Chains A and B, each alone.
Chain A
Amino acid sequence: MKILVGVKRVIDFNVRVQVKPDGSGVVKDGVKMSMNPFDEIAIEEALRIKEAGHAEEVIVTTIGPKACQEQLRTALAMGADRAIHVLTDDEVQPLTAARILKALADKEQPKIVLLGKQAIDDDNNQTAQMLGALSHWPQATFASEVKIEGDTATVTREVDAGLETISVDLPAVISADLRLNEPRYVKLPDIMKAKRKPLETVSIEDLGVGHAAAVKVLKTTAPAKRQAGIKVESVTELVTVLKEKGLIS
């Protein structure tokens, strides 16, 4: 079987994001970009499923501008077999991303589509679930463990109440949470090898997908900032101030 993995280029998680003074968005010029950390975990899981003999091919895809090729090459260096770049300079919101991924899934017929549970830029946490809905496939979101047996996957999910386990028939969409695995490091020879792996470019039009009704971003602002308070010198002083505020008795 094949596994399709979605990867997104985002501002690196270590960057302190700055809002532009004119409210038009956040500063992206000269800022370090990386693969969404959840997507690295998704690729790693796909590779492990393949290495365990359950899959023959891992295909990675990204939807976005030219620069996203960098993340596809990283994915290929990690071990993915080939890449599909859905090239667009347009804004792609989750519902459109899900439609595009569905079109790719219809074409490639993967048994599993693995996505990150959320992209750390827009933090939407929607795409996997939307793809599940559009494909009428089961969804197993926020996965912290995936076991493949024949045509089913048993997935442990990180939910507010603890760990939930569900079993789903394949094909299915799975979204990766942080504790699913630790992604491997990419070695230099793999980066060289990745340059020769197939990377196909298609347009949204090629896939016959129309843009879905979209949410309009009116403005972006900096959040209300918490002011740093004071340093207390001792536990006694801490207890006194907390008592004064009525927070402890």
Chain B
Amino acid sequence: MSKVLVIAEHDGVNLNGSTARAVSCAADLGLDSIDVVVLASDGTAVAEQAAKISGVSNVVLVQNPANEHAVAAFLAPQIESLASDYSHVLAPSTTFGKDLMPRVAAHLGRPQISDIMRVESTHVFDRPIYAGNAVATVEAPEGLVIGTVRTASYKAASNDGSASIETRSVDVTLPSHTRFVELASGGGGDRPDLQAASKVVSGGRGVGSEENFKIIYSLADKLGAGVGASRAAVDAGFIPNDHQVGQTGKIIAPDLYMAFGISGAIQHLAGIKDAGTIVAINKDADAPIFEVADFGLVADLFEVIEELEQAL
């Protein structure tokens, strides 16, 4: 029997939307069944959410006080001890999965397939390289496959499943060399999560200052959109790091992406290739962002935002 194990990403209360996207990728493998594992300190609520993901047969709940925060060095040995029942172990390619899965893979002596964007067969996958400027079709060696899923390439599996929940105890000794200290969230407030938002309004260096970024937030709120940024805007301190979109930030796929004062460097474009409609506002008619924008407007961003605020 061939089974897939998907590692759930969550914050102890809510299941992260990336999990249901990873399940969609798992479904493309066409294997006998899909299990989701929730590693948590008290994970009943998260397990119940995971049980609703369509296509999942079984939710494995592993509770341990050490799982209060997602520390790779603690989670990896627990996943390793579950892995022998499965042909594939997948996690979303978010910072959670990126941190965790190579640690699992190396312990098991397996290479990892990072950022799976398409499943061709049980062992053949497409993945982006060079910031998405090329796509490699790769074949994993025979045996257990460990991979991370490029979530922007998959729609979330629907929410009408009813998997069983099985609590398991995993008996492994966990290291004492790592301690969680704190998590300072970027303070996106109640705005939609960047990776799940259907609309994203994004600002670049052209926005000019942290103060000016208020108009980006205000427009986003009017549209019910998430807020993104270029690396230059983050580096300049206009906005916290968790808003960065691109090769080294978040890879997103909203229906609408509006870029204000962003030039369109390849590293930035790597994060928005799967957006439905891209709108670019830039005062430089030659900015490379116009090469990918569905609708471009050569104009001053401040004037455009003011007019938009009135028009909406």
Contact = CB atoms under 8 A, between A and B. Distances in A.
Contacts of A129: 72, 98-103, 106
Contacts of B104: 133
B246 to A, nearest CB: 10
Nearest to A20: B134
A117 B95 CA distance: 11
Contacts of A118: 248
B129 A121 contact: yes
Contacts of B207: none
A104 to B, nearest CB: 16
Best-buried of A127, A134, A160, A221 by chain B (most CB within 10 Å): A160
Contacts of B267: 13
Interface of A: 11, 13, 16-17, 19, 26, 93-95, 98, 117-118, 120-134, 136-139, 141-142, 144, 154, 157-169, 172, 177-179, 212-223, 226, 228-236, 238-239, 241-242, 245, 247-248
Interface in B167-193: 175, 177-187
Of A141, A162, A165, A230, most B-chain CB atoms within 10 Å: A162
Contacts of B109: 95, 212-213
A247 B199 CA distance: 8
Nearest to B306: A235
A94 B94 contact: no
B135 interface: yes
A205 to B, nearest CB: 20
B134 A26 contact: yes
B179 to A, nearest CB: 5
Contact of B183 (A130, A162, A216, A222): A162
B72 A139 contact: yes
A134 to B, nearest CB: 5
B141 A228 contact: no
